[in-house]
Structure 1
Amino acid sequence: MYREINPHPLLAAYVDAYWVAAVTQHSRQRILPDTCADIIFNISRDVIAVADGEQIAPHTAFVVGTMTAFQDSEMPANTAMLGIRFRAGGLNAFTGLPLQLITDGHLSLKETAADWHTTLEPLLAKEISVRGKIHCIENFLLQRLPAAHNNFRKIQHSISLIQQAQGKIPVAALAAGAYMSTRNFERHFLQSVGVSPKTFTRIVRFLEIRRQLKTESHTHLLSLALDNGFYDHAHLTREFKAFSGESPSGYQQR
């Protein structure tokens, strides 16, 4: 079972969704890059193992950074997890954590936001229902709603431009639009989002191609490659495989 819950409108600039995943049998899933970072709570009765064999006790949480490649994830039987999926830049705005420290990795919530660990985890442990836990998280976030400082607004505007252009926009143009030097822009973007602007544009372009493969089944792959700024079909295939672990044609056929 997997479901998503929309956040409060005041949180929508920072939080993409809350999500709940629960299985009764062992499950394996491929997770693809999506430009987001997550805080994930173990709401099971048992300890669960995450990447690298790290053990996550019940009612504790870990933070997953922005991904630049696919990851295969396993959920043991009778496991349940509750996540906060932050939009690009959202987790940094709330915690001040330089997101590049956990790119393609994870840390316990205790290591990344000690005050969240000591306050939020005990609150969630007291709540029995998933709805109650989400309500608790929402109130916690609303009480800590960050002020949208100037750099945050600039980076968010740049993210919007990248998404509107479907990843086909040069970094120099983004830096100029943010009234920053390219080097300064790249530094702020990396800290806020966890990946460089160039990598972010590649991920956004990958997500757009994946959408097109899913919704436009008759699209010729060479046309798809050229329309999305690739030199040829082979270039598209290499890039798509790097993010998803499979070829565009393989993804299109399943």
Structure 2
Amino acid sequence: MAMSRLILPPPLSLSGIVRYFHIEHADGGVLRMPAMPFPYLGVLLSGDSCAERGGERMASPRSFAVGALSRPISLRISAGAVFASAPLRLGQLQTLFGIASHELTDQIWPLDALIGRAEEEALFDSLRPGDGAGQWVEALSAWIMRRLARREPPGGFDHWRLPAASLFLDSRTLAEQSSLSTRQFERRFLARYGQPLRDMRRMARFMRAMGGMILGQAGSMADLALDCGYFDQAHLSRDFKLLSGFSPREFAQGLHGQSNRELDLLRYDAREKQLVMDSVDADLREMRADEATDVASVQDAF
């Protein structure tokens, strides 16, 4: 699949919400998207796209929100498709929409179901096909800023910070550190991050391993496994196959050796690597849950 892509940093005012902006012009084909803890917002400006996993097929609305992905999916994109997306930092679906993040896990949710048809139409109309990537990023940024300005203050702040190393403490210890019961902690963690603590631990290891391969920093698979917190190379291989759809060697060879076109979404130039992988590292280094209060369901969002 031949593609023209532009990845741009967010304005400083949105650096705590948006990881980066991604503009894509595709010639059509199938792309593989691995499991990811990061939600994202997308607008399909032209063409068609659908997600496939096993026998399930989900057509992409023209504008949508996607929660964390617990398993890899394939994206079938039509020739000439153009889309603009804003991958978000961990937990920011809750910040933007006041909903529990796990309600969108493994879902492609029409944006108008979250914000109402009038606001969705105004956003889509602001992304004029004749404009360029810079104007699209400005329009998306302005809309996100308006949503942040309009949101109601949360009912309370925990000011709770969860360093990535703490992911591997047991739930009871983390709950005590947060002055919560274990059940309260687990419920708030799920609502904020879209996955249970155990699944986020697995995801953190996988993201470090995949990041090392994307950056070309991985040595032997045995060393990579130990560096990323796996018990051994077999543990890495099982998790990597489950969460990416490829064995570690297949992934590395497809990315850097015999090019696998399904991996084009993860094939970055040097500048893109720094921007994308720095945002991954920042989120996994310190997971924030300052607003981990009880939230409304998707059905009660507006």
Fold shared per TM-score above 0.5: yes
Deviates more, 1:122-131 or 1:242-251: 122-131
Distance 1:14 1:72, change over 3 A: same
Deviation at 1:148, TM superposition (A): 7.4
Q: Is the 8 A contact 1:186 1:197 kept in 2?
A: yes
Q: Is the 8 A contact 2:20 2:86 kept in 1?
A: yes
Distance 2:166 2:225 in 1: 13
Match of 1:133 among 121, 136, 139: 136
Distance 2:109 2:242 in 1: 24
Q: Equivalent residue for 1:103?
A: 105
SS in 2 for 1:94: helix
1:40 aligns with 2:42: yes
Q: Counterpart of 2:182 in structure 1: which amino acid?
A: T
Deviation at 1:125, TM superposition (A): 4.2
1:218 aligns with 2:219: yes
Q: Equivalent residue for 1:188?
A: 188
1:9 aligns with 2:12: yes
Number of aligned residue pairs: 241
Q: Is the 8 A contact 1:93 1:152 kept in 2?
A: no
Superposed counterparts of 1:64-213, under 5 Å: 64-114=66-116, 116-125=119-128, 128-145=131-148, 150-151=156-157, 153-154=159-160, 157-158=161-162, 161-162=163-164, 165=165, 168-213=168-213
Extract unaligned runs of 5+ from structure 1: none
Distance 1:97 1:127 in 2: 34
Distance 2:49 2:158 in 1: 34
The TM-score, its normalising length taken from structure 2, stands at: 0.71
Deviation at 1:249, TM superposition (A): 2.7
Query: Deviation digits for residues 208-250 of structure 1, max 9, x if unmatched?
Result: 122334533432x334334444333322211111111112233
Distance 2:19 2:143 in 1: 16
Distance 1:17 1:27 in 2: 24
Distance 1:172 1:65, change over 3 A: same
Query: Deviation digits for residues 138-187 of structure 1, max 9, x if unmatched?
Result: 12222332557755742xx22xx12xx39644444433333322221111
Q: Is the 8 A contact 2:36 2:203 kept in 1?
A: yes
The TM-score, its normalising length taken from structure 1, stands at: 0.83
Distance 1:172 1:13, change over 3 A: farther
Deviates more, 1:101-110 or 1:126-135: 126-135
Distance 2:10 2:246 in 1: 33
Higher relative contact order (CA 8 A, sep 6+): 2
Q: Is the 8 A contact 2:49 2:75 kept in 1?
A: no
Distance 1:239 1:113, change over 3 A: same
Distance 1:224 1:132, change over 3 A: closer
Distance 2:218 2:168 in 1: 22
Q: Is the 8 A contact 1:109 1:116 kept in 2?
A: no
Q: Equivalent residue for 1:27?
A: 29
Q: Equivalent residue for 1:54?
A: 59
Q: Counterpart of 1:76 in structure 2: which amino acid?
A: S
Distance 1:36 1:43, change over 3 A: same
SS in 2 for 1:207: helix
Q: Counterpart of 1:185 in structure 2: which amino acid?
A: F
Deviation at 1:253, TM superposition (A): 3.5
Extract unaligned runs of 5+ from structure 2: 52-56, 255-302
Percent of matched pairs sharing the same residue: 22
Deviation at 1:81, TM superposition (A): 0.3
Q: Is the 8 A contact 2:167 2:197 kept in 1?
A: no
